[in-house]
Structure 1
Amino acid sequence: MRHQTAIGAAALTAGLAVAMSVPAMGATARTAPAKPNPRALAAVSADTFVAAAPATFKKAPKDKIFRTNITSGLRGLQYVEYQRTYDGLPVFGGDFVVTTDADGGVQSTSVNQTTQLNVGTKATISVAQAAKTSRARVAKVTKSTTPRLTVLAEGSGKLAYETVVSGYQKRAETKLHVFVDARTGKVVKTFDEVRDAADDRSFYHGTVDLSTAATSMTDSTRPGHQCGGQGGSAYTGTDSAWGNGSGTDLETACVDTLYAVQKEWDMLKAWLGRNGTNGNGRGFPARVGLNQVNAFWNGSYTNFGHNQANNKQATSIDVVGHENGHAVFTNTPGGDSGGNEKGGMNESAGDIFGALTEHYVNEPANLDPPDYLVGEEVDLVGQGPIRNMYNPSAKGDPNCYSSSIPNTEVHKAAGPQNHWFYLLAEGSNPTNGNPTSPTCNNSTVTGVGIQKAGQIFMGGLSRKVTGWTHARARVATIQAAKSLYSKSPTECNAVKAAWSAINVPAQSGEPAC
């Protein structure tokens, strides 16, 4: 659980004490005050802004606002996250983000709610009824939490019980959040934390040099990252030479997994300015040997199976990058809950982080060269890549946004944002050897390069809220481009052109370039 700081006079005073430097007694006039830490400046500035502008954040009289996290980004940008309670109850969807610059200046806000909450907080159905209804949503239940009264930030609010039910749907693992209306007893919302996809010797990359402990597949330089079998413990050995290079050897699968995870971690830092997978210097464990033609992230760890032919593990760079990319998405503001449209954007985020990692590693053609295909090396079901980012329709997925996307299966619904990212990075008619990409409005888009596109995408994710949509992402990425490239309109205009090219139109109140 993230640390919570209440917004009030005491919190602001404490924040100012961190930000200010007081000379020691006897110091000379030449002693310069220490430069305030950007995170401390961000906390004070954002807290002050939130307290001074309650209407901006739809604050109701019964609301209490809490600062939960600060994530640092490129150019000194800080993303300050907030949640709220209503009449003492947690609010699902009451989140917002305040973005500040290196000097603490407020640059933009992202607010999930559209109106103040005004709802009664007395339930008429019992906890036992809510638990029974929630557990019925999972075929095989292994455990469930006690239902918790929650306010859903939908309109003026809805009182519901939230229960987390873990288990299996058919053979697939699930960790399902179920919201049961506390007055009618009907299920009003669900979301699943499990997101699926599809001298060390690896299968995909030849001989590589992993950073691991001497006798354990644990990465001490990237805290939280380790790899092992289905029991959850890291593999151990008598030395730090891992794997035999076979497509069926699970230790080799861990070599591939840790290699990809380490490269993704390095890419996040070097290209996107992010400190670790969770944004605060930590990553997550990985498991291999899943007996499924699948791979997934379940909110706590990544898990990798094999292809349909059972001669390769699903541990190529883009697949590992995809699943670990879900971990990044989960650990940005707004989390990974909030509706089917957001689920498709989460799947797309995984594909984008996989592509970014492939391009950062930049392996030669005989290994896993960078491209905008997903899972082509694994050949998951014998049909080559499972998704195509420059032309999603080549794999039967939509190229363009439409009103049907929020009701489209999430992996297929990844198509529009994948297409947007490719257009932003490479353009519709690249001159660097990458494929051409059709646009939905017959426009021509000029790309800004994958590194800049990744920075803008990350800047957008850092402004994410619970109710994430393509329309909100358009505004957030435009804000990101303006913050990151304030002296040039080129990047901002490219972001707008790429969104328009997949039929996400200009939004009311979006910044001008």
Structure 2
Amino acid sequence: MSAPATGATTRTTPAAPAKPDPRAVAAASADTFVVAKPAAFRTAPKDRIIRTGVTSGLRGLQHVQYQRTYDGLPVYGGDFVVTTNATGGILSTSVDQSERLDLRTKATITAAQAAKAARAKVSEIGTVSSPRLMVLAEGSGRLVYETVVSGHQKRAETKLHVMVDAKSGKVVKTWDEVRDVADDQSNYHGTVDLSTAATSMTDPQRPGHQCGGQGGSAYTGTDSAWGNGSGTNLETACVDVLYAVQKEWDMLKAWLGRNGTDGNGRGFPARVGLSDVNAYWNGSYTNFGHNQANNKQATSVDVVGHENGHAVFTNTPGGDSGGNGNEKGGMNESAGDIFGALTEHYINEPAQYDPPDYLVGEEVDLVGQGPIRNMYDPGQLGDPNCYSSSIPRTEVHSAAGPQNHWFYLLAEGSNPTNGNPTSPTCNNSTVTGIGIQKAGQIFMGGLNKKVTNWSHARARVETINAAIELFPNSGAECVAVKAAWSAVDVPQQGAEAACAPQAPDFSVAVNPASGRADAGGSANATVTTQTTGGGAQQVALSATSTPAGPTATFSPASVSSGQSSTMTVSVPAGTADGTYKITVLADGASVDRTATYTLTVGADQPGTVFADDFEANGSWTANPAGSDSATAGKWERGAPQPTSYSGTNLQLAAAGGSNTLVTGPQAGSDAGTYDVDGGVTTIQSPEITLPSGTLALKLSWYFAHLNNSGTDDYFRIKVVGTQTTTVVQQTGAAANRAGAWKNETIDLSAFAGQKIRIVAEAADNGSGSLVEAGLDDIKITKS
């Protein structure tokens, strides 16, 4: 370690640069992947793909959501989800659209005719929206009008979306947004502490959640003591609602990694006093009535958890519309039951209150016959235990049976040993459960991949993917998911993944990141891969060009992670001059990654020839000649930890972004721990092919030392082509030199038409010198 400078005082070590937002990393990676694999997303020439959000899940998983338009019209069912790991690696995609869209977008019937057909579907009409022309993603596409009719059907509230074929005028699809079923005195839970606002039944810790009457306003009072414990008191009903909602919110975060009911830190208001033996979610708020005996409000944990669970289902990708007949609606009802059961188990109340179980509504006794659904044996209450082709034609609450049964088998198994009841299987198999918390995590992981046309078959595929991604080092959870689906007669799907650990991961980079070629010519670059987790995996390489024109081949076309391949980008004769983005897809066995290469076509085309900001792992080579003598502080790419001595800044944070080339990025226990020691350290760029013309090299650099330095110490940057030119040189001195980024522009026109490399050197050749250097944001441009 270098000796400290004379008179040096205590150093300070500022905090390391903040890590990139994983949501932003995931979005950028997924966007590039969507460009790289248009066929996977059935992208048509008239499509416009729009990223609509990123939902964070457990263990760093990110779920990036997309919608599309076709010829300027919204596409119903054209949505998809791309799931990445915490570092942006593509793990899986959820795409339901089966064909590229190809249709004419001129309607035959009028909007008024479509509205008339929609109005006929509701008996008591309140409001009718203006019909909206859109594309229904069925086959190659169907042009439809969507109209929303609000009102009542058989006294029940409805908000019905009606899709009318814009050519024939026939109704082709409908779906309803409304989904049925200090110390505070609760009817179901005894005395609880809601921690509401001082004089209002609002929850300051969970934005959006409040409770009140049918007018929509929160109940108010002179203090924060609410309810009297009576089953007919509506303020007490709000105590029950807020208590269950708060516990469900906490469960979503602690068990499932979800931020609030809507996934973005907000919830929804609730109303009590509905004059009906019912409870519902209408897309904006939950509403709770009473039981048939009118001696209890329908506000038990599982009922509140159920209705609030509809809000979760609505606010995951794909929403709550679509599906085949009532199939998705039944899965929505099942989702409510599952979230209710999860909340009961999270609270884990004793027997005198509302203990955890897999029955729905047993505490409310809604119609005087006990529970309204049974998850471990739906058939006991007349609902189907098993999936069949009749499910899309089954009433939605009954159609909840197969997925409810699946969830119980996944959580508890067919023959639990913890006191829970046995559960029959449709294929006479024995299923071993994995526990309700893991089952809930996998169910939530599946919902984060949901698309508009959701089905039991797609849920099987995506919950298998979720199990693999959430538990990458264990196959047991994946096996259990498959076994539970098979046990309710949802068979193996051709697209489902095999149950195998997915721990291996890798990175990919292209060096140089840009190049130039004439029409009829070609350019070369090196694609490097590096194993970043687990063992090596096979990686297949391909590329697409935007706009179309250049094509890329790879030698070899498949590598084991850790190996490199030469990419040759060929430019057909007649290709227009301009800039082309080449997106390289590295298709691994367990994860996919992308990298980009910018190709300039045309001899006289100005622009960037080479650029490296060191945020990606490039092909710079340390100690290229094998003659370096430095024993510490060697050049490497990294995120530097800034250091200083006695007010003199030595090692600096990157000039831009997080990473840079630096002489030993760590701070260590002392500023002199990782500085350059013992001689020279060298790093060299990949080979760069320069075009003819006027060229400029722009870069940022710094050189810092203390007063124990001398003229034997130095920092140099050289350009090596057919000749070698030192373009930056700074020597040491017996004085403190504070590090400060300096921007340098160097004329490289003398190297035009050559292949060059950029070489950086730093040396501690004196006795006990403290020396630091950095290099960042290198760019060669042609003017």
**TM-score past 0.5 threshold:** yes
Match of 1:384 among 360, 370, 388: 370
Greater per-residue strand proportion? 2
1:15 aligned partner:
none
CA distance in 1, matches of 2:221, 2:53: 38
| 2:138 counterpart SS class | coil
Aligned residue among 46, 63, 72 for 2:47:
63
Whole-angstrom CA distance in 2 between matches of 1:268 and 1:38: 20
Figure out how many residues of one structure are paired with residues of the other and give that number: 485
Which of 343, 350, 354 pairs up with 1:368?
A: 354
> For the residues of structure 2 that align with 1:326 and 1:333, how far apart are their CA atoms?
13
Counterparts of 2:13 and 2:31 in 1: how far apart (Å)?
32
Of 194, 208, 221, 1:237 maps to 221
**1:276 aligns to 2:260 (yes or no):** yes
Residues 236-290 of structure 1 show CA distances to partners (whole Å, capped at 9, x for unaligned) of: 0000000010000000000000000000000000000000000000000000000
Selected match of 2:249 from 253, 265, 288: 265
The Cα of 1:490 is off from its aligned counterpart by 0.6
User: Matches of 1:213 and 1:31 in 2, distance apart?
Assistant: 38
Q: Which residue of 2 aligns with 1:400?
A: 386
Of 120, 123, 127 in structure 1, the residue corresponding to residue 104 of structure 2 is 120
Aligned counterparts, 1:350-499, within 5 A: 350-499=336-485
| Superposed displacement of residue 34, structure 1 | 2.9
Measure how far apart 1:29 and its partner are.
Answer: 12
SS in 1 for 2:305: helix
Structure 2 residue matching 1:69: 3-state secondary structure = strand
The residue type paired with residue 492 of structure 2 is: A
| CA–CA distance in structure 2, aligned partners of residues 254 and 144 of structure 1 | 32
| Structure 1 runs of 4+ with >4 Å offset | 28-33
Residue 509 of structure 1 deviates from its aligned partner by: 2.3
CA drift of 1:133 comes to 1.3
- Of 196, 209, 222 in structure 2, the residue corresponding to residue 225 of structure 1 is 209
- SS at structure 2 position matched to 1:278: coil
Match of 1:183 among 155, 163, 167: 167
Unaligned runs of 5+ in 2: 1-11, 500-783
The match for 1:93 is: 77
- Per-residue deviation at 1:211? 2.2
Q: Quick check: 1:192 aligned with 2:192?
A: no
Q: Which residue of 1 aligns with 2:641?
A: none
User: Which structure 2 residues correspond to residues 225-374 of structure 1 after superposition, within 5 A?
Assistant: 225-339=209-323, 340-374=326-360
Displacement, 1:59? Answer: 0.5
Match of residue 486 from structure 2: 500
Read off the aligned partner of 2:322 and give its amino acid letter: G
* Residues 192-242 of structure 1 deviation map (CA, whole Å, 9 limit, x = unaligned): 000002x10010000100021100001111000000000000000000000
Q: 1:510 maps to what in 2?
A: 496
**RMSD across aligned C-alpha pairs, in angstroms?**
1.1
State the structure with more CA Rg. Answer: 2
TM-score between both structures, scaled by the size of structure 1: 0.93
**CA offsets, 1:102-135, max 9 Å, x none?**
1111100001200000111001111111111111
Q: Percent identity?
A: 81
Q: Deviations over 1:313-339 (max 9, x none)?
A: 000000000000000000000000013
Please report the TM-score for the alignment, with normalisation by the length of structure 2.
Answer: 0.61
Distance, in Å, in 1 between the alignment partners of 2:304 and 2:395 is 21
Which residue identity does 2:330 align to in structure 1? G
| Cα drift, residue 140 of structure 1 | 1.3
- What is the identity, as a one-letter code, of the residue corresponding to 1:464? K
Q: What corresponds to 1:6 in structure 2?
A: none
Q: Residue 32 of structure 1: CA displacement? A: 4.7
Q: Which residue of 1 aligns with 2:571?
A: none
Equivalent position to 2:134, from 133, 150, 153: 150
Letter in 1 for 2:389: S
Deviation at 1:30, TM superposition (A): 9.1
| 2:59 aligns with one of 45, 70, 75 | 75
User: 2:463, 2:473 → 1: CA distance?
Assistant: 16
Could you tell me which amino acid in structure 2 is paired with residue 423 of structure 1? L
Partner in structure 2 of residue 18 of structure 1 = none
**Cα distance in 2, alignment partners of residues 31 and 462 from structure 1:** 35
CA–CA distance in 2 between the matches of 1:32 and 1:360? Answer: 38
Residue ranges of structure 1 left out of the alignment (5+ in a row): 1-27
Find the aligned partners of 2:265 and 2:47 in 1 and give their Cα distance: 31
* Alignment partners' CA distance in 1, 2:29 and 2:15: 25
Shift of 1:160: 0.5
The 1:31–1:369 alpha-carbon spacing in structure 2 relative to 1, beyond 3 Å, is closer
Structure 2 counterpart of 1:459, which letter?
G
Task: State the alpha-carbon separation in 2 of the partners of residues 393 and 29 from structure 1.
Answer: 66
The one-letter amino acid of 2:343's match is: T
The superposition leaves residues 400-459 of structure 1 with CA deviations (integer Å, 9 ceiling, x where unpaired) of 111111111110010000000000000000000000001111111000000000000000
Summarize the Cα distance change of 1:45–1:29 in structure 2 as closer, same or farther, 3 Å threshold.
farther
Q: CA deviation at 1:31?
A: 7.8
Query: In structure 2, do the counterparts of structure 1 residues 309 and 183 end up closer, same or farther at CA, with 3 Å as the change threshold?
Result: same
